[in-house]
Structure 1
Amino acid sequence: MDVIKMFSKELEQEAQTTRKMLALVPNDKYDWQPHPKSMTIKRLATHIAELPSWVTMALTTDELDFANNPYQPVNINNTDELLAYFEQSLADGKASLAQATEEPLEQPWTLRNGDEIYSTTSKAEVIRMAFSQIIHHRAQLGVYLRLLNIPIPGSYGPSADEMNF
């Protein structure tokens, strides 16, 4: 199977569910967090929205060094901006996959903070990790929404809200 086609298909499939979840973030709850150690819903949703652009980063760079590139999330102020940012990140990731070949997927890519190396994996593994992060953080967002008593959509089938449990 063509790995690029598989990644493209998966990115589009996950985007459908991600879009539905991000659309539910209430504009008046952007500073809300379920626990002091948890991210705010704004930070969590913004991170989910940016993750498709990690496909481009994996394909066009050899590393991310937080010492040289401290994390600066985009300042999102409402759900319309959040969805627009997600669509921009998604278009970026999809365009990079459309132009990619499989050869560079085996090349190493490193995540580090200066001399501290968190991981060195193939570029293909970084893309898979980005998809896993989307799914992981989207599930966190589902818990946040549930705690705010907002019905959530299903991801891989109907949710309890859709089944009227």
Structure 2
Amino acid sequence: MNLFELNDSFRALQDRDDLDPTVLADSLDAIQDTREVKWDNIATWIDRNNATEEWIAKRIKELQDKKKYLENQSKNLMTYLTDSIDDAGFKEARTDNHILKPRNYKASVVISTPDKLPMTFVHTETKTISRPDKKALYAALKAGQEVPAAKLVPNRKTVIN
């Protein structure tokens, strides 16, 4: 198999969404070429995945910022619209596309300085959170102690430069 065909094989694998770890390993094993060429293509694939992950994370942040901006803008527009209809003295307004009816909803509580509230209006709550102490577990397991429901699993990776 020449290099062009091998790259096509890897591209075909990259495009699949149904690759569980076993199928992926079997598919990679089935590609006939030297280890070095396989390793180089796998490292390139990992580089592309990492770049795509970074792009997606950046895009998610941009979209979240845009969503927050639109939410705030809609809130400000709603305030303006309601105030405008109220100022005009209408209980209902009609346009070509909408029927606008200002309504009273439950009032919102706004707290400007929480530390100045009387204690009768402050709720103190203590929560107990239980979580495994991984540092203590690691030390005990590393020392050879057996701990039910816990074990050390090797964590090996390859640095790609």
- The TM-score, its normalising length taken from structure 2, stands at 0.20
Structure having the larger proportion of residues in strand = 1
- The TM-score, its normalising length taken from structure 1, stands at 0.20
The structure number with the bigger radius of gyration is 2
